[in-house]
Structure 1
């Protein structure tokens, strides 16, 4: 069920991203990266905050987010290549960057650090916001082989920013059956705004293939147990639901295919908060957020920033993605301090805060 739920999440968020842009725009993003970051936030959430996130990620507020975390963890391990094959490269980092003004719960930190890709690291969001931004960007750039050099743009760290939960992903795999570079030629592509010529690769090979009403499906195998699956509609590109996509993916069988595929270089930078709001995630962004599993200090999500780069050519595919869940402190007062000088008679109460019982009461006219 977790696999279907992850596909449901993929289709729903991709449709929402497409609706947010122009009809002719490309959409490219990483469900793995976004789900990884949001799942870890969900691990530290409670109440309505958690219910909304689990419903988005798994389709049912009663589902267990740890099942999704295990699914994503499984995807960190690629199949071993044969001796004559180019080794695949997969690197993942899940990092909670925390300011000294907050205390991260030991249980949350321990669970994150127990993951092969997990860590908790300090970042000076308050004392040196630009330094914190550069620190996070440098770490993401390292993981993504510099395909994403500046995930966090100037000004993204606010006065009340105290933490960032960041997922970074890099994947580079070669095709099992490489395209012939000499066969690549300029061919027409019928985009929504009119025909355009694009470099188009050619391959004749036994591949996964399915022909279903309205669709052709081709699965291109890559080293490491990775597939790139092309879903080609007969006419205009519709928005199929997740079960239709799952049905198409399950139907492929090996068959000789003469495939012509454009070379691709796709990129997207997006602030995902409006899209997540549209999909029912609201509370985590408000002062009612409950992220008490992350920290004793009251926190809310400030923004969800995502960037993806994907390149496909004759040799294989290379992709990178990063998602930053920026967190703000609810109790942090960033306004100018109010001056209070107790230089005249005053009242004083010493009380038990929760019950209201007063331990001591005083009327002070002369403290000398």
Structure 2
């Protein structure tokens, strides 16, 4: 059963990341949801609640439970990189083992930030088959970085019915700046189709339970409100599909978009990441994302990675203590903390 909450998350963040419909964009909601799911597990209180509200009901569970079958190639890594001297909560490490490709590793953030960056980038490059070789740019890892939560994804699969190479030809494509010829594939295949709510959709099946859904607006590419409805209406049809080849690369800093969608406390003094570490100073500095997608006659290949960079903020003064003055008659209750057994109950009137 498809998760509507995950689609809502994907469309909302797409609006925030790619508001200019005249510019190309490509990103992985699965990868971002994976990294944010790890962040939610690291958080408590509003920090956790804000992330989960954006991901929607069952968001982290969807990432943990989604697999792609053979013969498709599918690789996922969910990695906690932590400084050697950062105390970690055992419960977080146990939970990490339940994530696909879950692992905890150490990196020399304070002693060698660039070396730590190289370690993380090399690991991401390995998972993504070198499609994302430099997720973290120079200077993104600092001496005050103490942890990085990373999701990396690779997917390669073939169409159930391939596009014949001989059918590919230059055909007109209407870009925002004018019409020009582009290499366009063509196939007649069993697919699923819907036309409603201002959109036409074609779902083209690929191996491993994957499908590519082409969403074609009736007019210009604008609001995405009708996308859920047209996806709900897909029905099996024989389709003659003409589709341009695609090769997209995209990178972005997600912090601003996430703040705009309600994930705020984790970036500031209200951050509470004590489900990851008892250190109260932890705060998210930035969330970095990169994605690559290629679509051709044989199938599709894509890779993506998302990194949540966690740093130790400057000393955060303890909040002012709550003042309690016991200066009038009161009760004293002595009990066992776990069972609640009351050993003594006293009423103090005149000490």
TM > 0.5: yes
Give the direction of change, closer, same or farther, for the CA distance of 1:331–1:113 in structure 2 (3 Å limit).
farther
Please give the secondary structure, in 2, of the residue aligned with 1:148. coil
Aligned to 1:194: 178
Question: Which of 320, 324, 342 is the matching residue for 2:303?
Answer: 320
Aligned to 2:60: 69
Moved more, 40-49 or 127-136: 40-49
Aligned to 1:303: 286
1:178 maps onto 2:162 in alignment: yes
**Where in structure 1 do 4 or more consecutive aligned residues deviate above 6 Å?**
none
CA distance in 2, matches of 1:107, 1:37: 18
Aligned to 1:9: 9
CA distance in 2, matches of 1:71, 1:214: 29
CA distance in 1, matches of 2:322, 2:241: 74
Give the direction of change, closer, same or farther, for the CA distance of 1:213–1:34 in structure 2 (3 Å limit).
closer
Q: TM-score of the superposition, structure 1-length normalised?
A: 0.83
Please give the secondary structure, in 2, of the residue aligned with 1:10. helix
CA distance in 2, matches of 1:210, 1:355: 61
1:279 maps onto 2:270 in alignment: no
Q: TM-score of the superposition, structure 2-length normalised?
A: 0.87
CA distance in 1, matches of 2:69, 2:76: 16
Q: Are 1:206 and 1:255, in contact at CA under 8 Å, matched by a contact in 2? A: yes
For residues 136-151 of structure 1, what are the structure 2 equivalents within 5 Å? 136-151=120-135
Please give the secondary structure, in 1, of the residue aligned with 2:88. coil
For residues 59-138 of structure 1, what are the structure 2 equivalents within 5 Å? 67-75=58-66, 77-80=67-70, 87-138=71-122
Question: Which of 250, 254, 257 is the matching residue for 2:232?
Answer: 250
1:227 maps onto 2:211 in alignment: yes
CA distance in 2, matches of 1:320, 1:79: 17
Tell me how far 1:69 sits from its aligned partner. Answer: 2.3
Aligned to 2:339: none
CA distance in 2, matches of 1:149, 1:5: 31
Q: Deviations over 1:12-66 (max 9, x none)?
A: 00011112xx4411121000000010011111211121221111111xxxx5xxx
Question: Which of 24, 35, 45 is the matching residue for 2:22?
Answer: 24
Question: Which of 39, 42, 45 is the matching residue for 1:41?
Answer: 39
Please give the secondary structure, in 1, of the residue aligned with 2:228. helix
Aligned to 1:203: 187
Give the direction of change, closer, same or farther, for the CA distance of 1:114–1:235 in structure 2 (3 Å limit).
closer
Q: Are 1:2 and 1:68, in contact at CA under 8 Å, matched by a contact in 2? A: no
Give the direction of change, closer, same or farther, for the CA distance of 1:50–1:195 in structure 2 (3 Å limit).
same
Give the direction of change, closer, same or farther, for the CA distance of 1:245–1:301 in structure 2 (3 Å limit).
same
Q: Deviations over 1:126-151 (max 9, x none)?
A: 11111100000000000000000000
Measured on the aligned residues, the alpha-carbon RMSD in Å equals 1.9
- What 5-or-longer segments of structure 2 have no aligned partner? 324-351
CA distance in 1, matches of 2:322, 2:291: 52
Question: Which of 207, 222, 245 is the matching residue for 1:263?
Answer: 245
Q: Are 1:271 and 1:303, in contact at CA under 8 Å, matched by a contact in 2? A: yes
Tell me how far 1:287 sits from its aligned partner. Answer: 1.9
CA distance in 1, matches of 2:94, 2:15: 36
Tell me how far 1:331 sits from its aligned partner. Answer: 4.9
Tell me how far 1:101 sits from its aligned partner. Answer: 2.9
